[in-house]
Amino acid sequence: MSPNDDIAALIRTIPDFPKPGILFRDITTLLLDARGLATTIERLAALHAGPVDLVAAIEARGFIFGAAVAHALGAGLVLIRKDGKLPGVTVGVDYALEYGQDRVEMHEDAVVPGARVLLVDDLIATGGTALAAIRLIRKAGGTVAAASFVIDLPDLGGAARIAAEGVAAGALVSFPGH
Catalytic center residues = 61, 98
Q: What is the CA radius of gyration of the chain?
A: 16
Rounded (10°) angle between helices 61-73 and 34-47:
70
Torsion sign across C-alpha atoms 28, 33, 37, 40? negative
CA triple 18-24-27, angle to 5 deg: 120
Name which of 47, 65, 55 is nearest 4 in CA terms.
47
In contact, 11 and 2? CB cutoff 8 Å: no
